[in-house]
Structure 1
Amino acid sequence: MKFIHAADIHLDSPLNGLSAYPDAPADQLRSATRDAFTVLVDRAIDEAVDFMVIAGDLYDGSWRDYNTGIFFCKEMGRLKRVGIPVYVLFGNHDAESEMTKKLELPDNVHTFGASKPQTFKNDALGVALHGQSFKQRDIVANLVTGYPPPITGYFNIGVLHTALEGYATHASYAPCTIDELQAKGYQYWALGHVHEFEQWTGAATIVFPGNLQGRNVRERGQRGAVLVSVDEAGAVEVERIFIDVLRWEHLTVDAADCENLEEVVRKIGQGLETLLDTDGEVPRAARITVTGKTKAHGELFGLEAQLRHEVLAQIAGIGNERLWLEKVRIETQPIVDAAKLHERNDAFTDLQAILNEAATDVNFNEELRAVLAPFAAKTPLDLQSLVPLIEQIRKGDLRELIDDIAPGLLAHLAQAE
């Protein structure tokens, strides 16, 4: 038999990080999660799978309107017409307490209850699926302990939305351990909640398929689901299938061998073209970070805006229909050691001494905060949470800002001289 295991679809969740840019693919951003789900259903039909499992976070909280539910029903109707059942478990984002709107689903869709573990049996396939949906968002109890024992003679699948233990980047919902899952006696665990692909083998095959579509630059690289094949002896084979319709990438460019801005831009352009060597038909949204000790550091200092426009020009040459820019960051370092500059006995050395003292100069910090505070106050709240420097300005702690800027300023002046 074959089945598809997916999770963390987050239907109609917005993609963040591009919408403010004039060249952003607005239509693709709005429909990316839906488009990816349609591709998933296409793949299920093409593979003629026996069933599909969705292990939580099908939705992204309560629908803004009924269109989200209507879209899901339409896609489930496509599977119903070819005889493919779907087993859905609700996680923290689509828990009973989170959903204020509901629609009657096609009868090929089976949803796990939230009050206690529930088992669905498919006698024709000899498969038993065990699962429990979330009743409220913050389930902190170990749900595995309540799951029933395996049914003898059946291929037993446990469906669970969980952080396991040790995934600090994900809220610790329904925590459990790999050993507990293996000890349950099931043959396969279809997990959800963690957005990265993970697989463990043993008495049971345990899989996080990752999320279906990356929604921001923190969810980089190929995204999708898994196609699981089980032979007559019960051996399990897991194949990743990539479903994403827009992919986020983080391109790190080492500028150590670059002499100036022009060479940095050229190297970035080469890196962007390389991104499209794999799955070139999938559009990319890229964050670019320029690193390394480089002679170009002084010229790059304070030129994030110019570098961004240079990169946009490179992207325009490659093709805006396949590649968009999320952000450019400059994290280079000067080749000239600031400590050696201290040996000079001139005004340049005096400036370095002033900058060294500036971070702890109370009066200077107050004056600088007074200048920057109005700009910080006008910054949108969602941006403030993404840029720690804004919060530092609000609190009046500018030491990190000064420490970051001083080396670049000195390198820029030294190069200009």
Structure 2
Amino acid sequence: MSGESFRFIHASDFHLETPLGDLDALPPNLHDALATAPRDAAEAIFEAALATNIDFLVLSGDLLHPVAAGPHGMSLLLDNFEKLHAAKKPVYWAAGVADDPKHWPEAVPLPPNVTLFPRDKPLSITYERAGRTICTLVGRSSEGRSSLHVPGFQTETIDDFTIGVGYGASDANALSAGRMDYWALGGAHNYREIEGGAPAGAVQPGSPQGRGLDESGPHGYCVVDVDAEQTARVHRVESDCFRYCHETIDADEIRSVGSLRNLLGQKISTLANENGGRHLLIAWDVNLTDPEMIASIGDPNELLRQIRRDHGNGNPSAWTTRLTVRPPRTYPKSWREEDTILGDFLRASDKFRKSGSPAGTSSPSGSAAGSAGDSRLINLMPFTEEHAELSSTATTLLGDLPAQHRDETLDEATLLGVELLRGGKPTWGRKS
């Protein structure tokens, strides 16, 4: 069925109440930009929606928690809603969990161009231009679910291009049963397209600004173009001011360049070129599979300070948020077979990995080392008895080492012993 072409913006998950995370320290030149980054990314969406070739704006939840974001966050939405109202551009908003309509103050009405979909039933709205129906939107706000209840969007079958507006995760089979031409979904902080969910696409555009290392890569919103034949094209537009990057380095890469510091510098230059002049927040994971390279790395804490000094104060900045140098899991066979203290130590370390507890110690439950059910536990409590100066907090932390940190602790303890027994200086700080 032929109709008229139109264009709309689909965005979600502003989370104006949430600052950027995974940061331990920052140069002064980034403080202001970091504080305003979520707002700046949201503003970019409204500015794009005010462009003359955008017909309407679709928002799919978690824009802000009104109480947590406060008047500052609410005013950003209201001011921009008013601007769109003056430009005669509708806004269709399906609330999520953070922006549950129950949280919105009754004393703060929304402008008449804003449709906030109800929670208890679907609402079908036709978008018209010059007296002609262009498309239909079927929306429903979340009832607090993290998943989308597709049957809750059922309405009468229509011939218009139909946009389902909702919040939450779903799969292609469930979405396709909803018979929408395009699903405008929210609830995911990273971009996600669900193949097969709808003819024109089923999309969660993600947050316009990433908030942490688990939200690395580009962030923004979607512009959806629908032609007169109801064929749609979805364009991703980047709006983030800061971009998180999580990079992994292995020993071969370090060896090819000569030093870890030089390699980090090269990779930072590449990342800066690839990410369009944005500020970068980078976490590095260095996997040292070659024990012979340990001495060449030096002190990771000092290396972190150097990298931050070299690359973290520019504009744009490439700030290293974390440098993790992971110790080798294995050491040369010749080292383990030595008739030396080092050989004895490595053999004891291997035995300990298999048994789960050092000889002469017991598990937290009091059972013998390496017994069934306790093989993955480490009990360091007996070692604290030799150090009366340790605080009760430190003693408790050592005694309650989580099982998921077992291998990491063993790797670091083994490396420390190897450094000392091979005459090295124990300055190694794994996580910086």
Instruction: Check whether TM > 0.5.
Output: yes
Q: CA deviation at 1:82?
A: 2.1
Quick check: 2:223–2:237 contact (8 Å CA) kept in 1?
yes
Residue 134 (str. 1) matches residue 149 (str. 2):
no
Change beyond 3 A, Cα 1:259–1:274: closer
CA spacing shift, 1:253–1:400, aligned 2, 3 Å: closer
Structure-to-structure mapping, 1:15-414, within 5 angstroms: 15-18=20-23, 20-23=25-28, 25-46=30-51, 48-60=53-65, 62-99=67-104, 103-124=108-129, 125-135=133-143, 137-138=144-145, 143-149=149-155, 151-164=157-170, 177-199=171-193, 200-201=195-196, 203-256=199-252, 258=254, 263-294=259-290, 297-299=293-295, 303-316=299-312, 319=314, 321-333=316-328, 336-337=331-332, 339-356=333-350, 359-361=357-359, 362=361, 365-369=380-384, 377=393, 394-395=400-401, 399-400=406-407, 402-413=409-420
Q: In the alignment, which residue of structure 1 is the partner of 2:430? A: none
Deviations 1:196-233 (A, max 9, x none): 22222453521111221101111001001110000001
The 1:326/1:366 distance shift into structure 2, 3 A limit, reads same
- In structure 2, the CA distance between the partners of 1:153 and 1:400, relative to structure 1 (3 Å rule), is closer
Letter paired with 1:126: I
Identical-pair percentage: 24
RMSD: 3.3
- Supply the distance in 2 between the matched residues of 1:261 and 1:377 (Cα, whole angstroms): 43
- Which residue does the alignment assign to 2:11? 6
The total of aligned residue pairs comes to: 391
Query: How far is the alpha carbon of 1:76 from its aligned partner?
Result: 1.6
TM-score with structure 1 setting the length: 0.82
The CA distance in 2 between the partners of 1:222 and 1:10, in whole Å, is: 17
* 8 Å Cα contact 1:128-1:157 kept in structure 2: yes
Q: Which amino acid aligns with 1:32?
A: A
Displacement after TM superposition at 1:277 (Å): 0.8
Q: Which residue of 2 aligns with 1:385?
A: none
User: Taking structure 2 as the reference length, what is the TM-score of the superposition?
Assistant: 0.80
Find the residue that maps to 2:33 and give its secondary structure: helix
**Which one has a bigger Cα radius of gyration?**
2
- Distance (Å, rounded) in 2 between the aligned partners of 1:80 and 1:163: 31
1:273: how far off?
0.9
Please state how far the C-alpha of 1:121 moved relative to its aligned partner.
1.5
- Runs of 5+ unmatched residues, structure 1: 165-176, 379-389
| Structure 1 residues 295 and 126, CA gap change in structure 2 (3 angstroms) | same
Q: Distance in 2 between matches of 1:126 and 1:144?
A: 24
How far is 1:139 from its partner?
6.2
2:168 maps to a residue whose letter is T
SS of residue paired to 2:19: coil
Distance in 1 of aligned mates of 2:155 and 2:257: 64
Q: How far 1:302 moved relative to its partner?
A: 8.4
Q: 1:60 offset after TM fit, Å?
A: 3.9
- What CA distance in whole angstroms lies between the structure 2 residues aligned with 1:408 and 1:226? 48
